[in-house]
Structure 1
Amino acid sequence: MVLLNLINISQFYKQGNEKINVLDKINLEIKKNINVGILGPSGSGKTSFLNIIGLLENCKNGTVIINEINCSELNSEEKTFFRRKNIGFIFQNNQLLEDFTCEENVALPLILNGHSYKKSIMNAQDLLIKLGLKNRLKMKPSLLSGGEQQRVAILRALIKKPKILLSDEPTGSLDDKNAKEVFKQIINLSQNQNTITITATHNHELLSEFDVCYKINKGKLVEF
């Protein structure tokens, strides 16, 4: 079953009278449990590509279909609800909430989706313990190392078992050793949930970890 279908996706911006094509008639089909890499230099359109899939940005032309639902036809409120249920995000700057403990940060997506606070915290604790963060449950993010913070961000994105996980330079702030270790944890957890992962990166050391890899070049999505 095709879980993600992009049809003729185009995105452009205008600078004065100049039209700048960021994405040009991109077509892509991805089945569940596939790990996809998106490479390209800064400004190539990687982030716009992820934002369109994540329903954070409207494309100028084209259709986004996720789990057989035409998301391009949803209104703003419907997109928010769909995104909250079905799409997880990991960012280079983990964007953890500093006033919340690690377990609260991880539990937050479940709480927002209507689960009880107690059950959400228990689920978060189980995941944190599995990733070796048993002694960090009650700690604030500022007291954690960079690698530990990113593990918390990974679990926050995956705790709701999303259909799609979007990662924008998820290991960009880590050294090579931690980058590979953290990325493997992303893949292992995602595969256990049959989640599609789509990762934008410029780290060529991660190429061997992807099932399929594309490069955005002059607005086109090219497999390599």
Structure 2
Amino acid sequence: MNRRGVEPVVELKSLTRSFQQGGVKIDVLCGVDLAIMPGEIVALLGPSGSGKSTLLQAVGLLEGGFGGEIVIGGQSAEKSDSRARTVLRREHLGFVYQFHHLLPDFDARENVILPQLVAGTPRAEAEARSEQLLTALGLGHRLDHRPSQLSGGEQQRVAVARGLANKPDLVLADEPTGNLDEKTSDKVLAEFLSLVRGEGSAALIATHNERLARKMDRVVRLHEGLLE
């Protein structure tokens, strides 16, 4: 907890991760410490291969093999079993990836409804939430369109809405506009940040783009396995 008594939405303590490649040990994370406060948008900056995705996978509780401690919502993930970690992920985290990974057989509205139904949200409430988010992202007229009928920017907007659907405390985004052209990237990122701030969520956004990183509240740099 910080001195004002506000608890971080996530706290990493001496986080480590190593891999074996060709009989050689490669240290990717070498004791990362990071705390993100409620409502704070943090840019995770670093070149390709620096370990940004590995760090996001750790925070997202998407794989094991990490040393140190990950605390989410005041609860230590390292001391939780698989079921408890799933609950932590579902109740506290949202995800937006570089490639949208939308379900091709479902329209925009349904792609945002489905994660809410999985979390136990009543259907009518999930539908209203889906339409609210998509409309806020300028897709109110595209609710019934499947991913193949949407542009790249529109598909990524649906992915943003899906990531925020369950009102996460923390949104994790891995190069969320990395596959878009610069003009579309700027527009989608601006809408993304505006929506995250409006929702009151925190966010950790991995990028290699210094210009985009400067639009966020704080920048941390991953270099040689440590944050600067």
In the superposition, the TM-score normalised over structure 2's length comes to 0.93
Matched, 1:114 2:120: yes
The residue type paired with residue 79 of structure 1 is R
The residue type paired with residue 24 of structure 2 is E
One of 211, 218, 222 as aligned partner of 1:216: 222
Matched, 1:195 2:195: no
1:204 is displaced (CA, Å) by 2.1
1:57 is displaced (CA, Å) by 2.0
SS at match of 2:87: helix
SS at match of 2:160: helix
Contact 1:48 1:57 in 2 (8 A): no
Structure 2 residue aligned with 1:99: 105
Paired positions, count? 222
Q: Deviations over 1:41-61 (max 9, x none)?
A: 221100000000000122431
Structure 1 residue aligned with 2:210: 204
| Cα distance change, pair 20–118 in 1 and its aligned pair in 2 (3 A) | same
Structure 2 residue aligned with 1:126: 132
How far apart, CA to CA, are the structure 2 residues paired with 1:211 and 1:137?
Answer: 31
Contact 2:45 2:213 in 1 (8 A): no
Aligned-residue sequence identity (percent) comes to 38
The residue type paired with residue 99 of structure 2 is N
Structure 1 residue aligned with 2:30: 24
Contact 1:106 1:124 in 2 (8 A): yes
One of 156, 168, 176 as aligned partner of 1:170: 176
1:158 is displaced (CA, Å) by 0.4
The residue type paired with residue 102 of structure 1 is A
1:119 is displaced (CA, Å) by 2.3
- RMSD of the alignment, in Å? 1.2
Structure 2 residue aligned with 1:8: 14
Structure 1 residue aligned with 2:187: 181
How far apart, CA to CA, are the structure 1 residues paired with 2:45 and 2:89?
Answer: 24
Q: What does 1:45-84 correspond to in 2, within 5 Å?
A: 45-84=51-90
One of 126, 131, 141 as aligned partner of 1:135: 141
Structure 2 segments unaligned to the other structure (5+ residues): 1-5
Structure 1 residue aligned with 2:152: 146
One of 91, 111, 116 as aligned partner of 1:85: 91
How far apart, CA to CA, are the structure 1 residues paired with 2:164 and 2:186?
Answer: 18
Contact 1:63 1:72 in 2 (8 A): yes
The residue type paired with residue 218 of structure 1 is E
Contact 1:11 1:59 in 2 (8 A): yes
How far apart, CA to CA, are the structure 1 residues paired with 2:132 and 2:32?
Answer: 40
1:122 is displaced (CA, Å) by 2.1
1:207 is displaced (CA, Å) by 2.4
1:193 is displaced (CA, Å) by 2.2
In the superposition, the TM-score normalised over structure 1's length comes to 0.95
